[in-house]
Amino acid sequence: MFRDGQRISMASMTIDSIPVAEGLADDLGGGPDTETRSHAEQFSAWAGLVAVALFVAGSLVAGSAPRPDATTGEVTTFLVQHRSALLFGTALILLSVPFFGCFVGLLAGMLRDAEGGRAPLAGAATVGWVLLLAIASIGILVQVALTWRGADRADPGMVRFVYDVSSLSTYAVSATAVALSVGATSFIIFRTRMVPRWIAVFGLVEIVGNLVEVGGMASREGLNAGGYGAGVGPLLWAAWVAAMAIALVRCIGRERAGSRAAVVLD
């Protein structure tokens, strides 16, 4: 047998063909690299659900927190009486961060693949996630420092300032970052149908809530003081993230099943 005008043996052709065959197997979804990547993607999708569970549990473990328009005395009493529960809840929220990181990494990649080209919307969604985590971290840091040291030992003015920073970072200030990440993601979903479109509609509801929160910055009293919005914003966001994570789990499962079917047929 000849190759490029030179005689070659069947043995050398077989040996030379092994890497090609291995590469072909990987492309078809049967290679070790593909399996590892598939497992990593599945883990990252499930990580979104784990992160949401930790976030919700950490937010609710201490009970209902005072509204932003609560008096300084009410805030101080809550922080002192629920100190242990608040610190434990903060630990749960901090544990959710690496899981959120894995989920966002997967989501960003899938959004880029779905959008195609230079993927500006996928990039915008990723920026929104980064801003959200940064803003939320500021609010968590200042409140956990006050709670850990003891709110009853601090000046009332400091207690008021710290709680206002925490409340604003949770609601009004983080609302635009949430709207960016959810809005860009929802637009890609609605256009490409990478996951069911109802998740994009759900995202639109979340964005409306974000606008209400931003509008609440002008109010110091009432259900929307400081963008509180009756406290439903974070829970609505958590429900949207959970729905997105479940959709990605199912999507990756279908892709994996299709790859295995292709290997069997070939």
Within 10 angstroms of residue 208's Cβ, the number of other Cβ atoms is 12
**One-letter amino acid of 105:** G
Task: Pick the range with the lowest mean pLDDT from 22-36, 84-98, 170-184, 237-251.
Answer: 22-36
Q: What is the pTM of this model?
A: 0.83
**pLDDT exceeding 90 applies to what percent of the chain?**
79
**One-letter amino acid of 142:** V
Cα–Cα distance measured from residue 147 to residue 195, given in angstroms and rounded to the nearest whole number: 41
Alpha helices in 150-171 (DSSP H): 156-170
Residue 2: in which H helix or E strand, if any? strand 2-3
Q: What is the arithmetic mean of pLDDT over 238-256?
A: 92
pLDDT at 23 over 90: no
Q: 180 or 30: which carries more pLDDT confidence?
A: 180
How would you classify residue 6: left for phi > 0, otherwise alpha for psi between -120 and 50, otherwise beta? Answer: beta
DSSP 70: S
**pLDDT exceeding 70 applies to what percent of the chain?**
83
User: How long is the chain?
Assistant: 266
Cα–Cα distance measured from residue 263 to residue 196, given in angstroms and rounded to the nearest whole number: 27
